[in-house]
Amino acid sequence: MRVAFFTDSYLEVNGVALTSKRLESFARRHGLPFLTVYAGAKTGKMQNGSNLQLELKRSSLAIPMDAGLAYDPLFQRHTKFVYRALKKFRPDVIHITGLNDVSILGAWLAHKMQVPVLASWHTNIHEFAATRLQKTLRFIPAQARQKLIKLAERKIFDGAVLYYRMGKVVLAPNRDLVNALHVGTKREARLMIRGVDTEVFSPEKRTKNDGVFRLGFCGRLQPEKNVRLLAELEKGLIARGKTDYEFLIVGDGAERAWLEQNLKKADFLGFVEGERLAEAYANMDAFVFPSETDTFGNVVQEAFASGVPAIVANSGGPKYIVQHGQTGFVAAGIEDFVTYSLQLINNPLRQQEMGRAARSFVMTRSWDSVFEAVYQAYEECREIQARELNPDATVASLS
């Protein structure tokens, strides 16, 4: 199986980039021919074992989308360079990851070369857009603004679903999206969860035992992560007489300045990785993740691997990771976030028990098992294409 992988995030710090690099590493470790195409600082070609990498530079007209992410309207200028590499590589499947310049290039070349496409959904761009529009359209009366935002969100989702119809097989990180994409695209839709490295993330990395209860967050400090809820959570804890706590915030972004001004007791680590990240997770006593737009929530599993129970919102993918009352809690709103935080603060034995259960849960979620399922989806993708191109052969084989 020869796979060409067009990823919209590779060098950045986010769940898509992490998954992309893990998939590439899986292919390399198993000697599987794998071509990765991504946007970077320069245009060039690199060989790494069985892996070939094509790095493509964006133009000066690229439109910034988020931290490190952009859309280049002139990205198609790389078509000939990538086409020549693909002709030499001879892919069986082209894997695209989203609605951005890199994946659009991959989808076009797949059509040109008649190579089947597998499309994996990683980012709820419709919900991200809705969050950003809340700020942009704040001059419009609230009721009219909400109607406009809901309309825009629905239209963006419908457009993304139409784009994903190019895939013979569609992968999504949670059941809600699997069902929605299956209905919307009329394609085979499969679940693609995420793995976690339980050796890197471990309770053994803990270095703080000073009696302070640490409520942790890890991720981009952006509006779509709903991070301002952390300040509301702190107000709720103070109102109930809690003082021996601290917020441990890992990550950076536009909301950091607001949080620094509005959180009374917080330690901001900024962006960290490797052992420092593993140590930060292990030093948390509860992981608080209020995002309602995440399709999966890799950070929740990393907290689990570190022996930390999580409190997550009841919208988005993280709710499917947490076993309510066993490995953490699923909160319907700010009052739930306060109530569940207090339950963990006031009952250390339960907090420890839930942390052990969380660690036990993710021990079964290895990256290898995730990508073995992805390669099965590649095979299914190729078989569907073969049946569509030669239906008579399928009939003959059945007879």
Q: What is the pLDDT of residue 316?
A: 84
Query: Cβ neighbours of residue 51 under 8 Å, at least 6 residues apart?
Result: 24, 27, 28, 34, 35, 36
Q: Any bridge partners for residue 266, and if so which?
A: 247
Question: Which pLDDT does position 153 carry in this prediction?
Answer: 78
- Band (128; pLDDT cuts 50, 70, 90): low
Is pLDDT of 68 > 70? no
- What are the backbone dihedrals phi and psi of residue 251, each rounded to the nearest 5 degrees, phi first? 130, 175
187-201, 300-314, 346-360: the lowest-pLDDT one: 187-201
Tell me the average pLDDT across 151-157: 84
Answer whether residue 165 shows pLDDT above 60. yes
Exposure string of 247-265, with b = 16+ CB inside 10 Å and e = fewer, is bbbbbbbebbeebeeebee
What local confidence, expressed as pLDDT, does residue 108 receive? 97
Q: Give the CA angle between residues 342, 347, 350 to the nearest 5°.
A: 110
CA distances from 180 to 108, 152, 199, 292, 382 (A): 24, 18, 35, 17, 23
- pLDDT tens string 169-180: 999 988 889 999
d(CA 111, CA 40) in angstroms, rounded, equals 24
The residue-averaged pLDDT of 224-248 equals: 96
Give yes or no for residue 396 having a pLDDT over 60.
no
The pLDDT assigned to 395 comes to 44
Sheet strand arrangement including 93-96: 44-48, 51-57, 34-40, 3-6, 93-96, 117-120, 169-172, 188-191
> What local confidence, expressed as pLDDT, does residue 271 receive?
93
For the segment 219-229, what is each residue's pLDDT rounded down to a tens digit?
999 988 999 99
CA gap 256, 4 in Å, rounded: 37
